[in-house]
Amino acid sequence: MISPVKVWRRQKTIRDLLGKKGTILSWTKIFTPPPQFKHIAPYMIAYVKLENKRTVCAQIVDVQDIDEITFGTKVVITLRKLRESVAEDVIPYTIACKKYE
């Protein structure tokens, strides 16, 4: 289990990525996830190069079919709930990316 302090510290760095735009360099669909992500499987993840030249790995959201994604697909970084809150009532969030035109 991740401590609330670690979740809070990580979310401070997540803020810097929100709203950043980039392009997909690589992507895949996960069919056999780790136990904590079984509730969202199958899901897609991407390696994204942001406009500031930084690269991040994030889940692709709001896309139904892997055929909708191609090299160079334009995405924007957004925030999504990672899982339900734990006993300490901390709701962990993480970055995700979604297509934009």
What's the pTM? 0.79
Structure tokens given for 68: 């909708």
CATH class of the domain defined by 4-99: mainly beta
Per-residue pLDDT reduced to its tens digit, 15-46 = 778 889 999 999 999 999 988 788 888 999 99
Per-residue pLDDT reduced to its tens digit, 46-101 = 999 999 999 999 999 998 888 899 999 999 999 888 766 666 667 777 889 999 87
E strands present in the chain: 21-30, 43-50, 55-60, 74-81, 93-99
Domain ranges for the chain, please list them.
4-99
Closest CA to 25 of 65, 3, 58, 2: 58
Structure-token match 């899901």, residue found? 43
